[in-house]
Amino acid sequence: MENIIVLVILALVVGAAVAYLVKAKRNGAKCIGCPSGGNCPSSGKIKKKKLEGRVIGRKTLKIAGMTCSHCVMSVTKRLNQIDGVSAEVKLSNGSAVVSYDREIDDKVLKDALEAIGYRVTSIS
């Protein structure tokens, strides 16, 4: 009897989860469970920003707090808003490679990401 009760409860939980996922997808959610509530600002690949001048250097930022593709899009968008910076962000290793065509102070990069809730642990 206890096994039947456990199975019924398990079936209800799985059914509720499936219903939630179906409803979220019907409402246009792109990444279910992310901090934005599944409403990422864009879908698919992020278009790489083209710099005005030639690349004079690159910096690698280690970033704490990225958990999903929405985070990657937010970090990429924020870094690309800085004049002279083009960023490529990877969730798998929690980093961003920043190419720049003019000198960019590390503090500018760090402050930009900390303003949106991420923590830069190192810049090299």
Neighbouring C-beta atoms of residue 49, cutoff 10 Å: 16
- On the 0-12 / 13-18 / 19+ scale of CB atoms within 10 A, 29 is middle
pLDDT in tens, 54-95: 999 999 999 998 888 888 888 999 999 999 999 999 989 999
pLDDT band, residue 48 (cuts 50/70/90): confident
Per-residue confidence (pLDDT) for residue 95, from 0 to 100: 95
Residue 1 carries which DSSP code? -
Per-residue confidence (pLDDT) for residue 62, from 0 to 100: 97
